[in-house]
Amino acid sequence: MTIEEFEKLASAIASIVTAISIVIAGWWAYNRFIRQQENYPNLQFVADINLIGIQDGEWLIELVAIVENKGKVQHKMSDFTFVLDAIYRTDKLIASENWRGQVDFFSCDCPGSFLPETMKFFFIDPGVAAKYSYITKLPQETTFAILHCNFTYIDKRNYRHTAERTVKVPNPSGV
């Protein structure tokens, strides 16, 4: 084999290896970012209600939202809001078609936001768990409370993510 033939063979092999490498890299990128959606959120979102205590005839409570980024990219979110609803001791338990036959928590209807008005969005980095809290109150006659939390992902899909928590509020008089 002459040097010229060897160079042609080496050039052909290099072209084939390059083409195979491009196909493998394309498959890897497709698999990672399209099929596994690593560039989209992989978040765990939990809502909670902490009953702190009673003062002046009302429950002092902490509304909590925990967002944990279990993915590999930072995510930005907006409209991080909540609605706190309640059932009072004198309320009847009424199933509502508005909630697909679930019990309607029609008292209170206290909306709010976990973000200050000056902030339009928040972000969470990979591997980070962030806790957001809001301190508010409920009337002492509250027997049950439900917290509805949600936010919107800032990406081309604009999906909303929700979390809820329902708690029994103890009766301090034991009745």
Q: Is residue 139 pLDDT above 90, yes or no?
A: yes
For 9-58, the pLDDT digits (tens) are: 778 888 887 888 887 777 777 666 655 556 666 889 999 999 999 999 99
pLDDT value, residue 30: 67
pLDDT over threshold 90, residue 136: yes
pTM comes to: 0.76
Q: What is the mean pLDDT of residues 97-122?
A: 87
CA–CA separation, 71 and 27 (whole Å) = 21
Residues 115 and 123: their CA atoms lie apart, in Å, by 11
Read off the pLDDT of each residue in 83-105 and give the average, rounded to a whole number. 89
State the pLDDT at residue 7. Answer: 81
CA dihedral of residues 162, 50, 81, 104 (deg, nearest 10): 70
| Radius of gyration of the chain from its Cα atoms, rounded to whole angstroms | 27
- Two structure tokens written together for 37: 């959606």
pLDDT > 70: what percent of the chain? 91
